[in-house]
Amino acid sequence: MSTESFGVKQSFAAAADYSAKQYYLMYISAANTVTICGAEGNVVGIMYGKPESGKYGDVLTAPGVLAKVISGEAISAGALLESDASGRAVAFTYNCVGPTETYTVGRAVTESGATGGIITVLTMFCPSGKA
């Protein structure tokens, strides 16, 4: 079961149709505009709205709150999380391949048995080293 506590939500324009992308990870791609995050991306928050392209939606940007996020794989409670190539939360890897710095989404509070599950995360939104 996923839970959430209220935190700061900012309103941003959607770079594409995100009406089916609630709880996906987002980054700022242009002035006052968000796009779904890529692998090991610069996560700024979690989409809490369901905006169509060009419309505004709420993005949860507050660290230290419980939030819902879509999983990109099976995730254990307690795992440190980052973004996959589709803007879903996956376990943070220390593989020293690719960028030496990525953004940590937070820690999983609940677990997911498969891709596409909604889990609860304690948000962080901070840079983390991979080297």
Do the strands 80-83 and 33-36 form a parallel or antiparallel pair, or are they unpaired? Answer: unpaired
The full DSSP string for 2-60 is -------EEEEEESS--TT-TT-EEEEEETTEEEE--TT----EEE-S-PPTTSEEEEE
Angstrom distance (rounded) from CA 35 to CA 33 = 7
- How many residues are recorded in the chain? 131
DSSP 116: T
Are 22 and 71 in a shared domain? no
* CA-wise closest residue to 107 among 124, 93, 84: 124
- Choosing from 60, 78, 94, the residue where a domain stops is 60
4 lies in a domain? no
Give the residue-averaged pLDDT of 90-109: 76
**Structure tokens that stand for 55 in this block:** 């419309």
Number of domains in the chain: 2
24 lies in a domain? yes
Give the residue-averaged pLDDT of 6-26: 93
Residue ranges making up the domain that contains 78 = 66-129
pLDDT at 97: 57
pLDDT surpassing 70 at residue 101: no
86 lies in a domain? yes
1 lies in a domain? no
Are 124 and 70 in a shared domain? yes
Are 50 and 87 in a shared domain? no
101 lies in a domain? yes
Q: Which of 34-38, 39-43, 81-85, 126-130 has the lowest mean pLDDT?
A: 126-130
How sure is the predictor about 60, in pLDDT bands with cuts at 50, 70 and 90? very high
pLDDT top residue among 96 and 69: 69
3 lies in a domain? no
